[in-house]
Structure 1
Amino acid sequence: MIRTAFVYVAAAAAEIAGCFGFWAWLRLGRSAWLLPLSMLSLAAFAWLLTLVESNAAGRAYAAYGGVYILSALVWLWRVEGIRPDRWDVLGSTLCLVGAAIILFAPRTAV
Structure 2
Amino acid sequence: MTSFLFYILAAFAEIAGCFSFWAWTRLGKSMLWTIPGTISLVFFAWILTKVDIDIAGRAYAIYGGIYIVCSLLWLWVVEDTRPDKCDIVGAVICLFGASIILLAPRS
For normalisation by structure 1, the TM-score amounts to 0.95
Q: What's the C-alpha RMSD, in Å, of the aligned pairs? A: 0.6
Query: What stretches of structure 1 of length at least 5 have no aligned partner?
Result: none
Runs of 4+ in 1 over 3 A off after TM superposition: none
Partner of 1:92: 91
Amino acid at match of 2:38: M
Find the aligned partners of 2:52 and 2:100 in 1 and give their Cα distance: 15
Deviations 1:4-60 (A, max 9, x none): 110000000100000000000000010111111100000000001100111200000
Find the aligned partners of 1:51 and 1:61 in 2 and give their Cα distance: 12
Pairs aligned (count)? 107
Find the aligned partners of 1:97 and 1:20 in 2 and give their Cα distance: 26
Please tell me whether residue 71 in structure 1 is matched to residue 70 in structure 2. yes
- 1:90 deviation in Å? 0.6
Find the aligned partners of 1:36 and 1:62 in 2 and give their Cα distance: 28
Query: What stretches of structure 2 of length at least 5 have no aligned partner?
Result: none
Amino acid at match of 2:89: L
For normalisation by structure 2, the TM-score amounts to 0.97
Partner of 1:25: 24
